[in-house]
Amino acid sequence: MIRNVLCIGAGYVGGPTMALIADRCPEVNVTVADINTQKIGQWNSDLLPVFEPGLDAVVKRARGRNLFFTELTPQSIAAAELIFICVNTPTKQYGEGAGMAADLQYWEKSARTILAHAKPGTVVVEKSTVPVRTAEAISRILNFERKGPHFQVLSNPEFLAEGSAVRDLEQPDRVLIGSELTEEGLAAARKLGWLYEHWVPKENILYTSVWSSELSKLTANAFLAQRVSSINAISALCEKTNADVTEISRAIGTDARIGPRFLEAGIGFGGSCFRKDILNLAYICGQFGLSEVGNYWMSVVRMNDYQISRFVKEILDRLFNTVADKKLAVFGFSFKPETNDTRDSPAIQVCTRLLQEQARLAISDPRALDNARKDLAGLPGDASSRVAYEPNPYLAAEGAHAIVLLTHWKDYKALDYERIYRSMQKPAFVFDGRNALDHERLFDLGFNVVPIGKSPRLHF
Ligand code: NAD
Ligand code: UGA
């Protein structure tokens, strides 16, 4: 039914999503284009720009067969019957709505390029996360003064989470397709549905209006982030009352109405989307005069910032009110395990603040050290000279006063902490920002252990 698909944007979403479509639909040619030629080179190499478990195998199966990573050309646009737009939609940093609204410049540029070269009747699919009613604006640009078949604009938001992208794409809880509720709109939605039906059960493909689809995406991220902030709020209370946040998560998570997932207290959520999408949601609420609704959602972001500040303050307090010239080993820098992505990682804020306190940091991470270097480059004063990037966690911890665990990579659970303890300054501390380690055992080895949302285990 469809022979040629194009995707504009070969990032964390465009690359893996299109690789899976190509893998599951061998009769469809899938071209993925990006303005970043270096990234295209990486997608065509053995070292993909995105680390995701299982992704290498999917790409290898389809690349060169019916999956192609290239620069964006007029020919590839003209050949496509269906074009996904999967470009970044970051928080706007300038002008009206700065710091809150979504920056849609990349989106609009893509739409105008499509307009210049696409054949009439091409279906345009917004996969990027966008403010509600963006499709309407794009549709106006695409269909301005056009005669003949219109461009249909569909909303098809992506719900994959990084670190589990391949599994999430293979077995999505649902695929959401929003369209105009006209005959042409519904026909376009069925075309897109046909692609997914290659591997997703029909009953898991939901069809809605474009607006509901766009707003569902922002709502899903806001609800998920809200759960994290809610349990983190309770973690602060646990620390004052000797309650244990893990026990509370288990106790409330067994209630079928609440459910067990997204109840892990920690140093707060990161990633490129939760904060950006909530800011955007709150901004839209403001535009419609719904300031109480906007404020409600903003409190989720404020709680996240509070959680990060609280964690840094705890480190300072416990380390006798100074970390100046003390070596601290940072375990994990990516915003979650199993990804090299560090966008809006809480680690950026934690490390920056510890450096402002004149600490010396040895940062370790199995995948994210290249991005960590970029994130911490250009800090004021001599801060950058006080950071070492050390892939080996044993070396990172050598001579350190404390381990600060920020990302719960499985590797960190399996380390020989007896050896690590011997190599550290005493008293040695572990600040477990993800409640991931065996606190009893660490305490028995001699560590002072400071978790989140539960009583610290101290030797004095
Ligand atoms: P990304 O920054 O990794 O990738 C976007 C890519 O688009 C970049 O490589 C950029 O060079 C390219 N690009 C920008 N303008 C272009 C243009 N005019 N022509 C060609 N290429 C262009 O971003 P991402 O993480 O893949 O996110 C993309 C969208 O998907 C965002 O709206 C995001 O909110 C949404 N989303 C992301 C995730 C996630 O886990 N990262 C999950 C669901 C939804
Ligand atoms: C999230 C959503 O889960 C995806 O559905 C969505 O598609 C995506 O955002 C997006 O739009 O970008 P992602 O950010 O990749 O996915 O990862 P999550 O697993 O949601 O984790 C986000 C952050 O919350 C991480 O920093 C994680 O450590 C933190 N988190 C998560 C907690 O602190 N506690 C939890 O219980 C769960």
pLDDT values of the chain reduced to their tens digit, one per residue, 460 residues: 899 999 999 999 999 999 999 999 999 999 999 999 999 999 999 999 999 999 999 999 999 999 999 999 999 999 999 999 999 999 999 999 999 999 999 999 999 999 899 998 999 999 999 988 888 888 888 887 666 667 899 999 999 999 999 999 999 999 999 999 999 999 999 999 999 999 999 999 999 999 999 999 999 999 999 999 999 999 999 999 999 999 999 999 999 999 999 999 999 999 999 999 999 999 999 999 999 999 999 999 999 999 999 999 999 999 999 999 999 999 999 999 999 999 999 999 999 999 999 999 999 999 999 999 999 998 888 898 999 999 999 999 999 999 999 999 999 999 999 999 999 999 999 999 999 999 999 999 999 999 999 999 999 8
**Residue 160 CA, ligand 2 centroid: distance in Å:** 9
CB 139 within 8 A of CB 210: no
**Dist. CA 277 → ligand 1 center (Å):** 14
| Closest residue CA from atom 34 of ligand 2 | 264
In degrees and rounded to multiples of 5, residue 108 shows phi and psi of -70, -40
What pLDDT does 126 receive? 95
- CB atoms under 10 Å from CB of 190, counted, come to 15
The Cα angle at residue 90 between residues 84 and 93, in degrees rounded to 5? 145
> Which residue from 218, 274, 405, 452 has its CB within 8 A of the most atoms of ligand 2, so it is best to mutate?
274
Give all strands of the β-sheet with 448-450 in edge-to-edge order. 387-389, 360-364, 327-331, 402-405, 429-432, 448-450
**What's the burial of 230, exposed, middle or buried (CB within 10 Å: 0-12/13-18/19+)?**
middle
Atom of ligand 2 nearest to the CA of 261: 36
Residue 39 CB–ligand 1 contact under 6 Å: yes
Q: Scan for tokens 């050290």, then name that residue.
A: 369
Q: Say whether the peptide bond before residue 427 is cis (omega within 30 degrees of 0).
A: yes
The one catalytic residue in 25, 238, 273, 351 is: 273
C-beta of 129 in contact with ligand 1 (< 6 A): yes
12 CB within 6 A, ligand 1: yes
Binding site membership of 421 for ligand 1 (Cβ less than 6 Å): no
- pLDDT for res 376: 96
- Whose atoms come closest to the Cα of 88: which ligand? 1
Instruction: Retrieve residue 178's tokens.
Output: 């929003």
What domains can you pick out in the chain, each with its CATH number?
A: 4-200 (3.40.50.720), 218-305 (1.10.1040.10), 306-450 (3.40.50.720)
Instruction: Report how far residue 267's alpha carbon sits from residue 350's, in angstroms, rounded to the nearest whole number.
Output: 9
For residue 424, the CA-to-ligand 2 centroid distance in Å is 33
- What's the 161 CA to ligand 2 centre distance in angstroms? 6
Joined tokens for residue 96: 């009206």
* 238 is known as an active-site residue: no
DSSP bridge pairs for 67:
30, 63
* pTM score, whole prediction: 0.97
Look up residue 76 and give its two tokens.
């590839």
The pLDDT of residue 145 is 66
Residue nearest atom 2 of ligand 2, based on CA coordinates: 161
Question: Given the CA of residue 13, which atom of ligand 2 is nearest to it?
Answer: 12
- The answer, yes or no, to whether any atom of ligand 1 lies below 6 A from the CB of 34, is yes
From the number of C-beta atoms within 10 Å of its C-beta (0-12, 13-18, 19+), residue 327 rates as: buried
| Smallest CA separation from ligand 1 atom 27, residue | 88
Q: What is the pLDDT of residue 214?
A: 95
Model pLDDT, residue 140: 83
**Which residue has its alpha carbon closest to ligand 2 atom 25?**
269
Inter-residue contact 262 to 228 (CB < 8 Å): yes
Regarding the beta carbon of 83 and ligand 1, being less than 6 Å apart is answered no
**Rounded to whole angstroms, how far apart are CA atoms 158 and 164?**
13
